[in-house]
Amino acid sequence: MNSLLNIDNLDLTLENTSILRDISLEINEGETTAVIGPNGCGKSSLAYTIMGLKDYTPDKGEIFFKGEEISGYSIDERAKKGITLAWQEPARFEGVTVREFLSLGLKSRGEQVTEKKLARALREVAIVPEKYLDRNIDETLSGGERKRIELASILIMEPELVMLDEPDSGVDVVALNNIGNVISDFKKENTGVLLITHSEEMLDFADKAVLICKGKIIKKGNPGEISEYFRYECTPCEDEDYEKHTKQEVENVG
């Protein structure tokens, strides 16, 4: 398996607060790596740093995409290289229809827009194309519907790396199974997935997992192992305990 994303010793500070500390992780082509951790531990910040959002410039560390260091690239340049992000809170686009939104993805790749391609992407996320293609992406769609449509827009772009920021939040069980199907589709296309979540159920869809606590990776392993650790041993801790805890854990992680 070829290496797709390599993050080495990444530190991020936002407004004088240390957000990510010494993060190292790797995603191979066609592989799903889950990042799990409690609220506020830095999961979304990690995705934003990989995507290159404004202010999310690392203080230290390197991000390699297919062997090339990308920290100096803009969001657009990273997107052109095939890096995509499905937001935790999907955007609303007043006056833009589902059809137009999905078409943008195809056009950006120089592909012809056909009804078949649009419909196929929507069906993948359990959205009935006939009912939704001409609807606006605004407050008239539910949060779960917008999340699924955003996932369809990423599928259609056939990215090399996709970061899914809590794809399970606000979606029902049917859609949850669909996320599993979408991840299998990405695997078939050899796309790497960074799956961000704070629910253990999602780890079933991953090949590898890392547990982040307060901006630091405290454990890496197979999803079953990490899921169990998260369930039974990852309890809220005071700063002092945390430092004790991470010193031991981090040494083991290496």
Ligand X SMILES: Nc1ncnc2c1ncn2[C@@H]1O[C@H](COP(=O)(O)OP(=O)(O)OP(=O)(O)O)[C@@H](O)[C@H]1O
Q: Which residues contact 152 (CB under 8 A, 6 or more apart)?
A: 102, 121, 122, 124, 125, 127
Which of 20, 23, 32, 44 is in the footprint of Mg ion by CB under 5 A?
Answer: 44
Window contacting Mg ion (CB under 5 A); options: 28-36, 43-51, 64-72, 93-101: 43-51
Q: Which of ligand X, Mg ion, none lies near 90, with the C-beta cut-off 5 to 8 A by kind?
A: none
Q: How far is CA 251 from CA 134, 162, 213, 226, 227, in A?
A: 54, 30, 15, 16, 20
Q: What is the Cα–Cα distance from 78 to 93, expressed in whole angstroms? A: 22
Q: What is the size of the binding site for ligand X (CB under 6 A)?
A: 14
Question: Taking the complex as a whole, how short is the minimal distance between the CB of residue 120 and Mg ion, in angstroms?
Answer: 30
Q: How far is CA 77 from CA 31, 92, 124, 132, 248, in A?
A: 23, 23, 28, 31, 39
Is there a contact between 85 and 44 (Cβ–Cβ < 8 Å)? Answer: no
Question: Taking the complex as a whole, how short is the minimal distance between the CB of residue 15 and ligand X, in angstroms?
Answer: 4
Which of 19, 98, 102, 163 is in the footprint of ligand X by CB under 6 A?
Answer: 19
Question: Taking the complex as a whole, how short is the minimal distance between the CB of residue 230 and ligand X, in angstroms?
Answer: 13
By the rule CB under 6 A, 49 interacts with ligand X: no
Q: Which of Mg ion, ligand X, none lies near 15, with the C-beta cut-off 5 to 8 A by kind?
A: ligand X
Binding site for ligand X (CB under 6 A): 14-15, 17, 19, 37, 39-45, 88, 198
